[in-house]
Structure 1
Amino acid sequence: MILSGTYGELRSNHFHSGLDIKTQQREGLPVYASADGHVSRINVQHYGYGKALYLLHPNGYTTVYAHLQNFAGEIQKHVKETQYKQETFEIELFPEAALLPVKKGELIGYSGNTGSSGGPHLHFEIRDSSQRPMNPMLFGMDVPDKKTPIVSSVFAYPLGADAHINQSQKLTKLRLIKQMDGTYKTEDVISYGKIGIGVSAYDQLDGAYNKNGVYSINTALNNTPKFEVKFDKFSFSETRYLNRYTDYGYYKTNRSKIQKLFRESNNPLSIITNEDDNGFIHVQDSLDYSYTISVKDYKGNDQTVIIPIKGTKSEILNPRAIEETEDFIYSDHATSLTKGKFSVYIPANSIYEDIYLNIKADGDTLIFHEDVVPIHKNITISADISNYLEEDKDKLFLGRLNYKGKPYYTKTSRKGNKLIAYVRLFGDYAVVSDTVEPVIKPMNFSEGKWISSQKELKIKITDELSGISSYRATINGKFILMEYNYKNDVLTYDFGDAINTETENNLKLIVIDNVGNSATFEAKFFRK
């Protein structure tokens, strides 16, 4: 077995909740039930887990199989029948226990690349009775791994008001020096006051080059345990706190995740299993310390880093820079702001610590700080559109601008003269008008042609600005189920559904974008 992703791996805004099992870049491999049970949930969506199956087992645990190409047997039949009955591709079902029982080793589906998968693989989870994902490696999954985790960099954080590292109050990267025994030692850290240590590390398994997550990190100060993080179990309600555990700003700037080996305020993560004084180090003048980091994978392969710390109270030559703005936000207070035509509501505990934010309006654009600070809870942005013509208001949305100034649709609602969006990213947002309908292009057929040899009907649908919201297709007036792959903008209909039994077929497809622009495509084809 070869993995492309391990449990607890650091992902965008969350910890990875299972194992990603490689399928050699292939789809359609058989997937079997790992134990007796019954299908408790079926979820089919364009994004996220794509086609996902949930099995509930007698011991109360649930196993999850995600990014499937298709389900198998009675499960597939039940899903397809319900999709046609409800006339929708996206669907979520919670079958009764007796409806779809399964036995260990029974074929339940086929591996795929559906949803937000970055390539063909099977995402597999084991959840406890409270739906908390557990590390599947704890259940006897045997994955060959003789490689030692790789520590790519180590950092020191001066945290106290008078703390400094090498006479600086800024994040300091420490130089790693490899020792004869394979361990690492850093250069001496000349410091004083309250400091913390961070590490960037990853693991590689046998037979793969993927940079996977590590299993545990332990630290000690003068041989006394200081901090431990272990990826055995967490809950989905806490997974977004990854943005507090890692250095969000450093990642956004340098594309490298630092795991902070100390617990700051507003970090309730249960993966931190042991800590002394929240992992902080209090360095006193004229005293020496030895700080040790031990990074392990699940197989116990260990990489050690030793950091010599020398306590020296010195003059601070490089003080921390704090850019003061007119908007200072207290993290535990709700804040309302008005900037030009924009209003911003920041709920309490939306951000992790008190901070100055740079917020200002420039016409139809809200400059909403910079995406180097994580947002935990949704922040509300509303825009006054009373200056627009009434007939134009329904075509407006709030878009987040990329570095080139191109807007990306943010789910937007309208109440009278207000556009409202809930956001979890800082950055620039603008009022954008979209009056252009989606584009529909047939891929494997054309008007009036015979396509008897085709097993599928494929149509490309695109929308330049606000993006695709919904679609509906019929053949000779009967609903047909079309699967939407947003990654290649393709709708696919399987002729095996046997909805069309006539020789002459009239296809009608309606596609609507996120502001209501509608496009209709009609074509006639022949098939036996």
Structure 2
Amino acid sequence: MKYLIFPILCLQFVLAHAQYPQDYFRSPLDIDLVLAGTFGELRSNHFHSGMDIKTQQRTGLNVYAVAEGYVSRIDVSNYGYGKALYITHPNGYVSVYAHLEKYAPEIEKYVKACQYAKESYEVEEFPAASELPVSAGDLVALSGNTGSSGGPHLHFEIRDNAERPINPMLFGFEVPDKKLPYISSVYAYPKDRNSHVNESKKRVELRLIPKSDGDYTVAPIEAFGEIGFGIESNDELDGANNKNGLGSIETFFNGNKNFQIDFKRFSFAETKHLNRYIDYELYKDKSARVQKLFIQPGNTLSMFKDVENDGYVKIEDSTDSVYKIRILDFKGNDTWLSIPIVAKPAKEILEAYELNPNTYINASTANELEQENVSVNFRPNTFYEDFNIDFSVRSDTLRLHKDVVPLMNYYSIQYDISNYADDDKQQLFIAQLYGYYQRPSYISTKRIGDKLSASTKTLGTFALARDTVNPSIRPVNFKDKQWLSKSSSLVLKISDDLSGISNYRATINGKWILMEYEYKRNTLTYDFSDNINTDTENNFKLIVTDNVGNSATFEATFYRK
């Protein structure tokens, strides 16, 4: 089969590249490109919007402008992309470089001027086209591990003029890949109570049977009605063993194509639908991201194409059928899964589920739940579909279903705290409880009078928590009354055990100084090259505040020539 479709594969590969310039962008690094992550990968609550390039397990590699243009945006954040740089090019595309350690000298000078002017480490700037022009191959940054990065690498993107990320591989970047994508598990999904798979009206896992050529099959299934399928699958690239995403998935029913998802481009506005695309309940239960090869209500991903009957197949008579799944990586390496289907009506039909009007959620309308001192408000279209929600309140603990239902939008939780003492109210916040020990995790909480409110996009267990402990501050590389003439920086550890760090402010001799917060190591670092301190004797002061207002102050004197 693979030899028969090879000419078609080559044609598809050429056509996919034809609309994108192939020799316009150079590599952002001067090492061979080995990827830790690919475009469109299924990540936590989003699709991956670029490619993660390995940097030999270290930081500090030179990062170059991939083409001429100008720095159009600079974003420095404690989380997310960390230190990020955006370059707009004459052809309308924007290249993005993220998790950087630092910027090139001219850009670094520009950024620090903005940070000191705003007295903030986190800044977002939009330089004019004339301020920071670059040529292809100019040094623009050093690679790093800042923000929500799990290890040293360069996150690289290309976006169009509508800010939609596009698979960078479409622009001719050479990344060797001769490995076949693979399937780890496959499931069948009866659509409704009139459908079944192997006499079950619930999700059924099918046993994969590997074939010698790398393809798969399963034992014939008995089914009737409308059926959908889902797979857990990944790809690996040459030179790395990371579990990467696919290039596309196609399905065929009795030889006719009935579904495709193509991971070439998407918008950030739609990436929230990832949790609708995967089997979210299975993901929360087994950490398996099963991609559903059918479209449920509310899932408006633009990556779907050539879809018939929302991807479901209809099994209506005694004729045997074959459903095939074809997964492809970006290089066109493909793997097939064949599922033989024997049409057979179920022996019995299950009764319809009776709805409880007290906990029934109509997804298209606003819904309010209230009990004791807690109210929960769902706006229209918070959920993708109607369902019965578990809801109870006891001793300030809100049990709101299990986190197995994907949400489209945020909802709000409100607590009435009028029965608490005034001193206690200042330290209360709304927390979500996780794990076996139900450890509280802070949710951004607002207080108006005797009402606490918070917004979230996950269901689960929530409670009021009280944080009475100040943050902790500890110097790492200096102590009070110490000479620091040979030191290049001041480093301190800060932490908070419950509500978390909200903000910090540091000064030397009363002047604000820039301290870089690395939350993964709980460190604050001041670089002496900023030249804020010019005296021999210097008074350092740091105030750290947590999310409910508890604060800690650290002061020390140091000497420097």
Alignment TM class, shorter chain as reference: over 0.9
- Paired with 2:46 and 2:488, the residues of 1 have a C-alpha distance of 39
User: Which ranges of structure 1 fall in alignment gaps of 5 or more residues?
Assistant: none
8 Å CA contact retained: 1:69, 1:113: yes
| Correspondent of 2:487 among 417, 431, 454 | 454
Q: Counterpart of 1:78?
A: 110
CA distance 1:167–1:58, change in 2 (3 Å): same
- Kindly state the Cα deviation for residue 454 of structure 1 after the two structures are TM-superposed: 1.8
Pairing 1:140–2:202 present = no
Cα distance per residue 1:249-306 (max 9 Å; x no partner): 1000011101000111101101112211111111113121111100000011111000
| Correspondent of 2:459 among 426, 429, 436 | 426
- Paired with 2:366 and 2:216, the residues of 1 have a C-alpha distance of 46
Q: Counterpart of 1:512?
A: 545
| Correspondent of 1:492 among 525, 530, 533 | 525
- Kindly state the Cα deviation for residue 74 of structure 1 after the two structures are TM-superposed: 1.3
| Correspondent of 1:414 among 437, 447, 458 | 447
- Paired with 1:204 and 1:519, the residues of 2 have a C-alpha distance of 48
| Correspondent of 2:64 among 32, 48, 61 | 32
- Kindly state the Cα deviation for residue 120 of structure 1 after the two structures are TM-superposed: 0.7
8 Å CA contact retained: 2:193, 2:352: no
Cα distance per residue 1:200-222 (max 9 Å; x no partner): 10000011110000110010001
- Paired with 2:461 and 2:285, the residues of 1 have a C-alpha distance of 17
| Correspondent of 1:401 among 429, 433, 454 | 433
Residue pairs, 1:373-392, within 5 angstroms: 373-392=405-424
| Correspondent of 1:159 among 191, 206, 215 | 191
- Paired with 2:60 and 2:355, the residues of 1 have a C-alpha distance of 54
Percent identity, please: 52
- Paired with 1:109 and 1:187, the residues of 2 have a C-alpha distance of 54
Pairing 1:6–2:18 present = no
SS in 1 for 2:109: helix
Pairing 1:119–2:151 present = yes
- Paired with 2:121 and 2:144, the residues of 1 have a C-alpha distance of 17
- Kindly state the Cα deviation for residue 324 of structure 1 after the two structures are TM-superposed: 5.5
Pairing 1:465–2:498 present = yes
- Paired with 1:9 and 1:39, the residues of 2 have a C-alpha distance of 27
Cα distance per residue 1:398-438 (max 9 Å; x no partner): 01111212111100000111001001111111111112111
- Kindly state the Cα deviation for residue 180 of structure 1 after the two structures are TM-superposed: 3.4
8 Å CA contact retained: 1:243, 1:374: yes
- Paired with 2:212 and 2:352, the residues of 1 have a C-alpha distance of 37
SS in 2 for 1:275: coil
TM-score scaled to structure 1, two decimals?
0.98
Q: Counterpart of 2:301?
A: 269
8 Å CA contact retained: 1:7, 1:17: yes
Q: Could you tell me which amino acid in structure 2 is paired with residue 180 of structure 1?
A: S
SS in 2 for 1:138: helix
- Kindly state the Cα deviation for residue 326 of structure 1 after the two structures are TM-superposed: 3.3
Q: Could you tell me which amino acid in structure 1 is paired with residue 73 of structure 2?
A: R
Q: Counterpart of 1:176?
A: 208
8 Å CA contact retained: 1:167, 1:318: no
- Paired with 2:426 and 2:408, the residues of 1 have a C-alpha distance of 30
Q: Counterpart of 2:400?
A: 368
8 Å CA contact retained: 1:325, 1:357: no
8 Å CA contact retained: 1:377, 1:424: yes
Residue pairs, 1:171-320, within 5 angstroms: 171-316=203-348
Q: Could you tell me which amino acid in structure 2 is paired with residue 466 of structure 1?
A: S
Q: Counterpart of 2:47?
A: 15
Q: How much is the aligned-residue C-alpha RMSD, in angstroms?
A: 1.4
- Kindly state the Cα deviation for residue 325 of structure 1 after the two structures are TM-superposed: 7.8
- Paired with 1:390 and 1:293, the residues of 2 have a C-alpha distance of 62
Cα distance per residue 1:223-262 (max 9 Å; x no partner): 1001011011100010010111111010000111010001
Q: Counterpart of 1:69?
A: 101
| Correspondent of 1:328 among 346, 360, 366 | 360
8 Å CA contact retained: 1:167, 1:317: no
Q: Counterpart of 2:559?
A: 526
SS in 2 for 1:344: strand
Pairing 1:477–2:510 present = yes
CA distance 1:319–1:488, change in 2 (3 Å): farther
**Deviation larger for 337-346 or 173-182:** 173-182
8 Å CA contact retained: 2:517, 2:525: yes
- Paired with 1:182 and 1:68, the residues of 2 have a C-alpha distance of 39
- Kindly state the Cα deviation for residue 319 of structure 1 after the two structures are TM-superposed: 8.2
CA distance 1:15–1:319, change in 2 (3 Å): farther
CA distance 1:401–1:167, change in 2 (3 Å): same
- Paired with 2:450 and 2:408, the residues of 1 have a C-alpha distance of 28
SS in 1 for 2:540: strand
- Kindly state the Cα deviation for residue 321 of structure 1 after the two structures are TM-superposed: 7.9
TM-score scaled to structure 2, two decimals?
0.92
Cα distance per residue 1:55-111 (max 9 Å; x no partner): 111121111100000111211100011111111100000111111111111010010
Q: Could you tell me which amino acid in structure 1 is paired with residue 469 of structure 2?
A: V
8 Å CA contact retained: 1:169, 1:319: no
8 Å CA contact retained: 2:483, 2:559: yes
Q: Counterpart of 1:93?
A: 125
SS in 2 for 1:70: strand
- Kindly state the Cα deviation for residue 48 of structure 1 after the two structures are TM-superposed: 0.5
Q: Counterpart of 1:106?
A: 138
- Kindly state the Cα deviation for residue 468 of structure 1 after the two structures are TM-superposed: 0.4
- Paired with 1:433 and 1:256, the residues of 2 have a C-alpha distance of 35
* Matched residues, number: 528
SS in 2 for 1:491: strand
SS in 2 for 1:115: coil
SS in 2 for 1:217: strand
Q: Counterpart of 2:11?
A: none
CA distance 1:323–1:155, change in 2 (3 Å): farther
CA distance 1:323–1:169, change in 2 (3 Å): farther
Q: Counterpart of 2:29?
A: none
Q: Counterpart of 1:131?
A: 163
- Kindly state the Cα deviation for residue 31 of structure 1 after the two structures are TM-superposed: 0.4
- Paired with 2:159 and 2:141, the residues of 1 have a C-alpha distance of 19
| Correspondent of 1:354 among 379, 386, 397 | 386
8 Å CA contact retained: 2:180, 2:214: no
Q: Could you tell me which amino acid in structure 2 is paired with residue 462 of structure 1?
A: S
- Paired with 1:161 and 1:442, the residues of 2 have a C-alpha distance of 64
Q: Could you tell me which amino acid in structure 2 is paired with residue 154 of structure 1?
A: V
8 Å CA contact retained: 2:508, 2:539: yes
8 Å CA contact retained: 2:489, 2:528: yes
- Paired with 1:255 and 1:371, the residues of 2 have a C-alpha distance of 13
**Deviation larger for 174-183 or 19-28:** 174-183
8 Å CA contact retained: 1:220, 1:226: yes
Cα distance per residue 1:470-505 (max 9 Å; x no partner): 001011111110000111111011111111122222
